[in-house]
Amino acid sequence: MVGFSEDDLRAAAGARSFARGQGYLDAVSGLEVGDSWFAARVQGTEAYEVEIAADGTDRLHGECDCPYGQEGHFCKHCVALGLVVLGRAREVPAQRSAAAHRAEGLERWLDSLSREELLELVREQLGTDRELRRRLELRAAAARSDEPAVRDRVLALLDPAPFAQYGYVEYADARAYGTQASEAVAALRVLITGDRAAQAVTLAREAMAVIGSAYEDVDDSSGHLGSVAAKLAEVHLEACRAARPDPRETAAWLARHLLGDDHYLFDTDPADYSEVLGGEGLARLRQLADEAWQRNPSGWAEKYLRERLVKAAGNVDELIAVYATDLSPSGETHLRIAQGLDAADRPDEALAWAERGLRETDAAHRAHSGLEDYLCARYTRADRLADAVAVRRDGFRAHRSLAAYRLLREAARAEGGWEREREAAVKLLHQEAQGQQSGWYGGHVLLDALLDDDDLEAAWQAAQDGLATDAQWLTLADRIREDRPADALEVYLRLVEPRKQVTGDANYEQIIQLLLGARACHQRLGTQKRFTDYVAALRTEQKRKRNLMKLLGQHGL
């Protein structure tokens, strides 16, 4: 039993990624089986390391180092691995048993070795694994309190030069650099537990400066080095709590650190240092923060430090005064003031500040500040539904997007006036769509809104009027093919034509999806022979495109 089904894969990936993953089954190699996980290499644009796990929850988890997977998505490579596992489901129990047997065998063998044999094994590995040697050298230096050697080894582990080509650490090498840097963090923790916390404080600060300087020259799309930086900041705080360095000196360092160019990387909260700083240190830090803000009142770092310290003090009115000195045109600051007042159980003042934000900011600038969401939630709770609709109406007129349309629809339905609001909103979208160019990407919001309302007849008419992009035509065809297969078939075949002239796997996958849609239409119409003849002619015409021919075969086309 593998712990998941094909439906689980489809739910985790979505229809499009699932369909694309079906074309990568032959690209999966080196399958490894664990107790609840499966790993393999999948050859895409590059060779990607892929792992999926069924941990007994309702969700299947997947990791892949392709760009889409690095964004947290269950990508087509994860789908391909999952389908291969399902295809070999009968072999999985035996493979799991074999893996457990190998692990137990290794443990028993290690337990059977004498101290001398284990040492010889370690020395053998040190002779061939330079990375392991550097790590153990650091641990040895820390164990014998050799401070110069520890510093030397820590800085060596943080040095990006061995991973950089032409002065820059590429994405493919960033993970290895981050893994090595994490060893330096582990060594600093050893210093803390070994009663050398004061040395750890000094060395952690130096290490943070090194990583902060190196980060600009690292492609950390995976976030691995950023995670190491966060752990390094945690170690510095732990070391300060253990060593209790001079509070005024610590306050001065914190001010420099939080006002420096790399403060965003470590996400240090000055409030976490309250215990270390004590009253004297906190007073000094506030003084330094105020002086920095006076020198540069528009600086983001200066404002952040000052706000965090005031917030830590718990004085709501003082915090509002700080916020009010620089009100954002997006309404974000008004919202933060309102939320602070809510937390202080002052809801009437909170609403007044939020409504002030609505008056003082332009709808075009506040779409993503959260102010409109806050106000609509307050209005809805107070049964002021017409006010909520007015906010959403202004938001939609300023940003005629599908998201804004949906918010307006939700508010207007609750108020009972959606039919009236929809007529005006669709009319506005019609006016905007006139004269815009269409293509494969982008798209007119009008078509998206009509499709979202399931008004397929109006959407078809708008598309016929020349307002649909290729992508919207495809979505429309997918939606109507059950009831209007002949119309959908015309769309699919028309979209195939220009793609015949383009090469590349991504284009071939688009052709496959269009052909699958066309096949469904012919099946609905009872004209499967016409589709078979069409595909045969396509194969003859495109026979030089080997990858396309391969995909056609994989999908039974």
What does DSSP assign to residue 382? T
45 inside domain: yes
Please check the confidence at residue 280 and state whether its pLDDT lies above 50. Answer: yes
Full residue range of the structural domain in which residue 328 is found = 314-373
Nearest to 176, CA basis, from 216, 126, 136, 222 = 222
Q: In the prediction, which pLDDT does 310 show?
A: 85
- Rg over alpha carbons for the chain, rounded to the nearest Å, is 31
Whether 70 and 92 map to the same domain: the answer is yes
Same domain (yes/no): 464, 553: no
Q: Is the same domain home to 61 and 98?
A: yes
- Residue ending a domain, among 93, 112, 131, is 112
Cα–Cα distance between 118 and 346 in angstroms, integer? 67
User: How many whole angstroms separate alpha carbon 297 and alpha carbon 264?
Assistant: 18
Residue at which a domain ends, from 52, 83, 112: 112
Mean local confidence (pLDDT), 480-504: 91
pTM over 0.75: no
- Determine, yes or no, domain membership for 258: no
For 80-126, how does the pLDDT look when each residue is reduced to its tens digit (9 = 90+)? 999 999 988 888 888 888 888 888 888 899 899 899 999 898 888 88
Q: What's the pLDDT tens digit per position in 478-489?
A: 999 999 999 999
- Closest to 405 measured CA to CA, from 448, 442, 366: 448
- Token readout for 393 is 């109406």
Other Cβ atoms closer than 10 A to 244: 14
Closest of 442, 408, 447, 418 to residue 430, by C-alpha: 447
Residues 390 and 368 in one domain: no
One domain for residues 24 and 85? yes
Query: What's the confidence (pLDDT) of residue 473?
Result: 92
Residue 68 lies in a domain: yes
Beta strands in 11-53, from DSSP E residues, in sequence order: 28-33, 37-43, 47-53
CB count within 10 Å of CB 98 equals 12
Same-domain pairing of 428 and 496: no
Token pair belonging to 332: 């974000």
In this structure, the answer to whether residues 335 and 407 fall within a common structural domain is no
Residue type, 20: R
Residue 144, in any domain of the structure: no
- The answer as to whether 163 is a domain residue is no
With 60 as the cut, is the pLDDT of residue 439 above it?
no
Rounded to whole angstroms, the Cα distance separating 107 from 112 reads 9
Determine the pLDDT at residue 66: 84
Domain end marker among 112, 128, 149: 112
Give yes or no: residues 346 and 327 share one domain. yes
**Coil, helix or strand at residue 21:** helix
Q: How many CA atoms lie within 13 A of 537 on its CB side?
A: 7
In-domain check, residue 456: yes
Both 368 and 388 in one domain: the answer is no
- Does residue 60 fall inside a structural domain? yes
pLDDT tier at 387, thresholds 50, 70, 90: very high
Assess contact for 231 and 182: CB atoms under 8 A: yes
Q: Are residues 449 and 391 in the same domain?
A: yes
- Residue 134 within any structural domain of the chain: no
Which of 264, 270, 172, 135 shows the shortest CA–CA distance to 211? 264
Q: What letter does residue 272 receive in the DSSP assignment? A: G
Q: Is the pLDDT of residue 549 over 60?
A: yes
Number of separate domains in the chain: 4
Per-residue pLDDT tens digits for 458-481? 999 989 888 888 888 999 999 999
Does the pLDDT of residue 408 top 70, yes or no? yes
Using CB atoms within 10 Å of the CB of residue 181, give its burial: 0 to 12 exposed, 13 to 18 middle, 19+ buried. buried
Same domain, 493 and 550: yes
Residues 387 and 427 in one domain: yes
In this structure, how many other beta carbons lie within 10 angstroms of the beta carbon of residue 99?
A: 14
